[in-house]
Structure 1
Amino acid sequence: MFNPSATACRSSRIYRWVKTLSQDARVLAPDTISASLLVRILRAAVAEGGDKRALLSAVGIDEARLRNPLSRLSAPLALRFFNVVEQHFKDPSIHLRLGEKAAMQNFSDLGFATRLEANLASVIEANVGIQILRQNIYRTTFEPTGKPPFLTWECHPDFVVPYAPMIEFSVATYARLSRQILGERPLLRALHFQHKPRFAVAKYEAAFGCAVEFSKPTTRMEIAARQLFRPSPLANPRLFDAAIQRYQQPADWMAQGRQHLAYSYFYLSTEIDKSPPTLDRMAKSFGMSERTLRRKLVEENYPFRELVDLVRQDLCKLYFMEDQRSLSEIALLLGYSELSAFTRAYKRWFGHAPSKS
């Protein structure tokens, strides 16, 4: 295990709000995985043909618990989930495929904006910077100045075997970044795993496109520098900065002692594209009564409905800056079932119809 307080973003530009959250022990209990990461894995498993209800039932996870982006699941529960997924698919290599599919899809994911960085190296660095929010069970580090540049996954020797499925999933997600950012497979110089192979080595090599070695001192991925530092066609520094600033606001609220407001903002940001937000459901995910949470939000100067409206408006600005989605898709991502309702809200926010933006 490692000490979360020792982990920090390597650049002050990369998500300063992560530091604020990581200093709050109530947010980042040690040796836990975030509900939002598990949701991404679950979504990928369903895309592979898995049964969502059966998977959650087998692990004993209440779906309502997954609605809170700051909810944490213990290491034993996370390991049980990975094992259940393997059993469900009857395939120990499933986590390599899930790592390929568990991509971030929109700004409701806390890490979606990392893909807007200048090059693949910066994207990886940003993702490593926010990894403590995703999980603090093992540690990932990135050395962009290495010759060649490399990533390592550090795990206590006693946990190398049980954590192997999680490590394999994580390695696969970083290998995916090249394809996602640059539209091509990663040019891996070498890939070493600390654990022994859990299935045919040929499957590992087919997934990663390079020779894979096992029982090494550490898990390590070496990537071609010419690929890492090539300008990214997705780079958008203006949008990246705007997305970072959006999450800095609730982090500032947290620093001011307005925790309920901050937690609610994060919750609504991740939930709003999935189902209509309700105060009752949000309160339950926090382990509170609806009446108590309503009172807390009023005390912290943002009643529930006003906060929902703020989250929608903030996300709307990002999607219009992104300029890659239709009005109908944006409306759905903001939780509007009808385009007309979104249009009315947009006029109220900005004084004109969205079609004139």
Structure 2
Amino acid sequence: MTEARLAASYVHLLYEYLRGLGLDPHKLLGPLPSGHFVALPTWRAALDLAQALDPRPALSLRLAAGISARHFGVVGFAALACPNLFAALQRLERFHNSVYDVNPAQVELTAQGLCIEWGTARGRPGALVDETALASLVQLTRDFTGRRLAPLQVDFVNPRPLDTSPYLSFFGCPVYFEQPSTRLLLATQDLSLPLRKSDPALLALLDAQAEALLQAVSQVAAPVAAFRLSLVALIREGHTSLDALARAHHLSTRSLQRRLAEQGLSFQALLDGTRRQLAEAYLRSPDLELSEIALLLGFSEQSAFTRAFGQWTGMAPANWRKQHLRDPL
């Protein structure tokens, strides 16, 4: 498989698992990845080593049991800001390349339920890789909702293992092997389940970091600073309307517009200015992917962020980053 890769934050799952076995993952696998991505062959070799160290069946399921939103980085935490499981899965699908860029995922809402399917267009990564990925997604739905959800059906392209009982126990549904594609079918009634709340301490940290970035590039009057601080959290959650900001300050939209006008601003100017300043600050960080920056700025698609940034600066985000990555703020 060429150019297949996955997020380093996801790879941390294996280090935590080995540590739980009383082993030193740094001695076995080397230091934790320093970049954003890990190449698929590196991940596969690490899983093979773990299997040799722990030869019990269904290693993939034991690994997946430890997954949580933090292993999906910014994408995971952004998904937790969604109102229900369906919206979170849609967000994960749109930005899945930031976490698991192996085979493309196809998501379709059918009469049976929500079908998520991975073909073999870019090759077959192997049973350990496939099973860990799909089991992790199922475990993530449980982490998101706080419920032990059971899919309706799970399919794998890989050969049937000698003992399928661990798979039936983990997924709680029929599991088929040697199928044309890797496939997960989720029950329709589960899609409307609300998500547990994100870690408030983490969200406060994200907001504080964003505000610190804004302070570094642009000082504003105190009234505007208060509105901008509220807007930082709203932007991350995708709530970028005048009405949302007004509600956050217990104001009518007309009162908010009047107060902004007193500072020589419109709401759209405040929104665009805040987003642009944050975008430029985030682009200076080599650790953030463009898709993650789009999420932090409340865009539903990376393409929407690219269009907006082009309107602000006349440049594509990637080109702007190349010119400014090494520049001080």
Give TM class, smaller chain: 0.5 to 0.7
In structure 1, the residue matched to 2:212 is none
After superposition, where does 1:283-298 map in structure 2 within 5 Å?
none
Q: Does 1:102 align with 2:67?
A: yes
Larger radius of gyration: 2
Which of the residues 22, 35, 47 maps onto 2:20?
Answer: 47
The answer as to whether partners of 1:45 and 1:98 remain within 8 angstroms in 2 is: no
After superposition, where does 1:51-66 map in structure 2 within 5 Å?
51-57=24-30, 62-63=31-32, 66=33
State the TM-score, normalizing by the size of structure 2: 0.60
The SS at the match of 2:236 is helix
**Alignment partners' CA distance in 1, 2:21 and 2:161:** 20
Identity of aligned residues (%): 19
Which of the residues 78, 101, 122 maps onto 2:43?
Answer: 78
Give the gaps of 5 or more residues in structure 1: 3-29, 270-295, 303-357
**Alignment partners' CA distance in 2, 1:195 and 1:231:** 33
Q: Which amino acid aligns with 1:300?
A: D
In structure 1, the residue matched to 2:171 is 208
In structure 1, the residue matched to 2:186 is 223
Give the gaps of 5 or more residues in structure 2: 201-230, 241-274, 293-323
The answer as to whether partners of 2:5 and 2:40 remain within 8 angstroms in 1 is: yes
Q: 1:107 to 1:190 in 2, by over 3 A?
A: closer
The SS at the match of 1:152 is strand
In structure 2, the residue matched to 1:67 is 34
Q: Which amino acid aligns with 1:67?
A: S
State the TM-score, normalizing by the size of structure 1: 0.55
After superposition, where does 1:263-282 map in structure 2 within 5 Å?
263=286
Tell me the number of residue pairs that the alignment of Structure 1 and Structure 2 aligns. 233
The answer as to whether partners of 1:253 and 1:262 remain within 8 angstroms in 2 is: no
Give how far 1:85 is off. 1.4
Alignment deviations for residues 309-332 of structure 1 (CA, whole Å, 9 cap, x no partner): xxxxxxxxxxxxxxxxxxxxxxxx
The answer as to whether partners of 1:151 and 1:222 remain within 8 angstroms in 2 is: yes
In structure 2, the residue matched to 1:131 is 96
Alignment deviations for residues 284-317 of structure 1 (CA, whole Å, 9 cap, x no partner): xxxxxxxxxxxx76x6342xxxxxxxxxxxxxxx
Which of the residues 149, 154, 159 maps onto 1:196?
Answer: 159
**Alignment partners' CA distance in 1, 2:111 and 2:55:** 38
Q: Which amino acid aligns with 1:234?
A: K
In structure 2, the residue matched to 1:242 is 236
In structure 2, the residue matched to 1:25 is none
Which of the residues 139, 147, 153 maps onto 1:184?
Answer: 147
Give how far 1:44 is off. 3.7
In structure 1, the residue matched to 2:81 is 116
In structure 2, the residue matched to 1:315 is none
Please tell me the root mean square deviation across aligned C-alpha atoms, in Å. Answer: 3.7
After superposition, where does 1:266-345 map in structure 2 within 5 Å?
300-302=327-329
